[in-house]
Amino acid sequence: STSTTTPGAADWATSSMRLLRELYELFKFRLKEKPDITLFCEAGLDPIMIRTERQRVMQVLINLLTNAMKFTQQGEIRFGCQLKEDNEIYFFVTDTGSGIPEDERDKIFNRFIKLDREIPGTGLGLTLSQTIVEKLGGRIGVESQQGIGSTFWFAVPLGAYD
């Protein structure tokens, strides 16, 4: 089979439940140092078979969850996925962090853009995430209110390799 020679192709079908559970365990452990934050995973009742590069989806979710952790001091971080009617899977990470000013929202996917100089990071995570999502045939975005929190989301076709 070609799965041994094509990077990422070996894991192109995965259960949404398993992927989200792995992330939940990883970030529950990472959040031990921030006891004022509660982590919620909203996986839905029915597992969704995702036909796309699992590692790439994981990488984007890890970037978004890491950012949520950086910018949230207390409250909650919620993440999960839903099946949308137009045959795509919608992933989201919502936090009760500092939020993003309206005039900054368009810039955050640009390279080396960091809205908070005090928080460690290169300013490349969102740019990289956008590139990955677009290569998978999807789209990425953010909804945010300053002082209330943010929801970063991305949607990819359910059968990117069908």
Taking only the tens place, the pLDDT of each residue in 15-42 is 788 889 999 999 999 999 999 999 999 8
CA distance 78 to 67: 13
CA-closest candidate to residue 155, choices 69, 24, 48 = 48
CA distance 152 to 105: 11
Could you read off the pLDDT of 73-102 as tens digits, one per residue? 999 999 999 888 778 889 999 999 989 888
Cβ-based neighbours of 62, under 8 Å, separated by 6 or more: 23, 26
pTM summary value: 0.83
Mapped onto helix, strand or coil, the DSSP state of residue 42 is strand
Contact assessment for residue 60 and residue 127, using Cβ atoms and an 8 Å cutoff: no
Contact assessment for residue 113 and residue 123, using Cβ atoms and an 8 Å cutoff: yes
